[in-house]
Amino acid sequence: MRGKFITLEGGEGAGKSTNLRYIQAWLETHGIEVVITREPGGTELGEKIRGLLLDKSNQTMTADTELLLMFAARAQHIQQLIQPALMQGKWVISDRFTDASYAYQGAARGLGFERIAVIEQWVQQGFAPDCTFVFDLPIEVGMNRVRARGGEIDRFEQEQANFFDTVRQAYLQRANLAPARYRVLNAAQSLEQVQMDIAQALRGLINV
């Protein structure tokens, strides 16, 4: 029996990493074997591409290069890790997937959704998540969380507020177009409330 593919999306500081572990634990308590992964990355080759994408010294990287590197890593990710795990009946949870390309490269970098849709079809051939959680919160709240956790910021985190506002609006736009797949979560709520909302959605997935 094929497993399910769950993706987590949202702007910087939205709490994806924290809640990814919650989803993993919740599913495992219900007897489901879970594989955790991320984008860009997820495979040895993908992680090397991730290093290129996040490196702040790569300031000359064009938007087209950024997009193509994302999908290069994604093609490897799908074929080497995601699809084999799903065929084994495991559930795969990914911190970001193709919605991020629409939000970051399509909207915020200005490449447009149509160009991305063409590459998506070529690479994924109709493959898509069963459920996507969008962690939504005001940009200033997310950036305050990023600053509070310390550490060095990457090439994306150094962008300005208008960039991240465009990302946020793109996520909400995509969620509005396909409400059956997306679950938009108010990530400004308490962690307890966010996780209650997640658990409700997960119960629905198990019952399908």
pLDDT tens string 159-173? 677 888 999 999 999
- Give the total residue count for the chain: 208
Which amino acid would we find at residue 71?
F
Better-predicted residue by pLDDT, 185 or 142: 185
pTM: 0.92
Residues 188-203 have pLDDT tens digits of 999 999 999 999 999 9
pLDDT score of 122: 97
Question: Domains, the chain, ranges and CATH?
Answer: 5-207 (3.40.50.300)
Residues ≥6 apart with Cβ < 8 Å to 116 = 67, 98, 101, 102, 105, 106
Least confident of 49-63, 142-156, 170-184: 142-156
Which residues, in sequence order, are CB contacts of 39 under 8 Å at separation 6+? 46, 70, 73, 74, 77, 94, 95, 96, 97, 100
Asked whether residue 208 carries a pLDDT value surpassing 60, the answer given is: no
Instruction: Kindly report, residue by residue over 59-94, the tens digit of the pLDDT.
Output: 899 999 999 999 999 999 999 999 999 999 999 999
pLDDT at 147: 78
Query: Of 11-20, 39-48, 75-84, which range is least confident?
Result: 11-20
- Residue 28 pLDDT level (bands cut at 50, 70, 90): very high
CA distance 100 to 58: 20
